[in-house]
Amino acid sequence: MRTILQPLAVLALLSLPASAQELRGHGGPVRAIAVSPDGLSAMTGSFDQSAILWSLSGGAAQAVLRFHEGAVNAVVAVPGLGFATGAEDGRIALWRGEAAVPVRIVEGHKGPVAALAVSADGRRIASASWDETVRVTALGDGGARLLEGHKGPVNGVAFLPGGGLVSAGYDATLRIWPAEGGTERVVTLPAALNGVVVAPDGEIAVAAADGRLRLFSPEGEARAEIVVGETPLIALALSADGTTLAAGGLRGQVALIDRKARAVRATLVGPGLPVWSLAFLPDGRQLLSGGADRLVRRWNAVTGEHIGTVVPRAGADVLAAFNGERGAQVFRACAACHTLTPSDGNRAGPTLHGIFGRRIASAPGYAYSEAFKAMDIVWTKETVAKLFEVGPNAYTPGTKMPEQTIGSAEDRQALVDWLEKVTR
């Protein structure tokens, strides 16, 4: 049953100008969103290598910020300053107002920054990276603490109320780091992890590639598992009061989850493209989503309805037609970033249509890294299989791909045979 809004709240939502209901400006997938503590502004980061500062009251871009060399994967609000961005180039930039250049640059990571978090007192910023580490940087003196232990890309990070830290990785581990150092607690889960948030009471929520949202105590004890879907969850947000979680997935749908009831209470149905980023406004009554369609959409987080023009319903699962084929099952881990047909275009990674016989870094309209452009590889069944045998970091250094391997030779063969059939 949907909650009925009070008349004044309904009037406030309906009176928003059309420009405030949908934010347009990015030239690539919207990978990250953060909202200022007062709810008046937001910053988004995109695969187009830019960040945009928005006025949420007017729906207008106040500044387009170009500093990073690579996709802007993470954005966080920094109390008393403005925002911070983290990107593929391994750097973190701190921004004040509409200034065209960062007021500070934090370096240290040797791989893409995937997630950012700021401590409750605003004095520390934590960064998760695909270099398998988490760094905690003091915003005052600049001292940094390096946390090592993950065996693969680290996709999420959040502070715990007592000053500790939690991180989530592609290695399917949730790691809880004590505030004063010492050995972390490691919780191993059944699937790769794509995001983590912490509620005001310390409860941890983590989004996984198996479509499950899992809840843990601050000490890492399992409390609940909520089935959101059958495709990977790739975006996660928590309302400021901790009552509502939002989990976005590969097919464009966002689940609103009542944390106390441990249940999905509404589903936001988008355009059928991956939702990469989510952020609640401070009052928890509205939600922003960003995804592969390059737009930022505004939702009523109470009723689950889209604010503004009704969006198309989510499309069909393109892999459903290949049910039972092993190659298609293996490809599901790749479907968040790659499409198979020319009409679907590029996502976080280039389309795989026509990949066999194509030279590396040559798909039209895709912003490749300089390292990729310098390589001399032609994609064949053999080279694609080799990529997943030794891993992208070893076979294609400088890649934007998350580190992943396929240990089974039979699975690698099934994948390339299937790709040869469906990407012609």
Q: How many domains does the chain have?
A: 2
Within a domain: residue 62?
yes
Q: What is the pLDDT of residues 254-283, one digit of tens each?
A: 999 999 999 999 998 877 788 999 999 999
Q: What is the pLDDT of residues 215-258, one digit of tens each?
A: 999 999 999 999 998 889 999 999 999 999 999 998 888 999 99
- Band of pLDDT at residue 348, cut at 50, 70 and 90: low
Here the CATH number for the domain that contains residue 368 is: 1.10.760.10
Residues 290 and 324 in one domain: no
Within a domain: residue 74?
yes
Q: Which domain holds residue 143?
A: 21-300
For residue 143, the 8-state DSSP code is -
- List the structure tokens of 20: 């405030």
Within a domain: residue 132?
yes
Q: Express the helix, strand and coil content of the chain in percent, nearest 5 each.
A: 10, 35, 50
The predicted pLDDT at position 347 comes to: 66
Residues 280 and 325 in one domain: no
Here the CATH number for the domain that contains residue 200 is: 2.130.10.10
Q: What is the pLDDT of residues 352-366, one digit of tens each?
A: 999 999 999 998 877
The predicted pLDDT at position 33 comes to: 98
Question: Burial of 278 by CB count in 10 Å (0-12 exposed, 13-18 middle, 19+ buried)?
Answer: buried
- Above 70 in pLDDT, residue 298? yes
Within a domain: residue 29?
yes
Residues 112 and 230 in one domain: yes
Residues 143 and 234 in one domain: yes
Residues 91 and 189 in one domain: yes
Q: Are strands 165-169 and 22-24 parallel, antiparallel or unpaired?
A: unpaired
- 417 and 381 Cβ atoms separated by less than 8 Å: yes
**DSSP states of 198-229:** E-TT--EEEEETTSEEEEE-TT--EEEEEE--
Task: Give how far the C-alpha of residue 306 lies from the chain's centroid of Cα atoms, to the nearest Å.
Answer: 21
Residues 34 and 141 in one domain: yes
- Above 90 in pLDDT, residue 75? yes
Q: For residue 360, which of 383, 394, 385 has the smallest C-alpha distance?
A: 383
- Band of pLDDT at residue 318, cut at 50, 70 and 90: confident
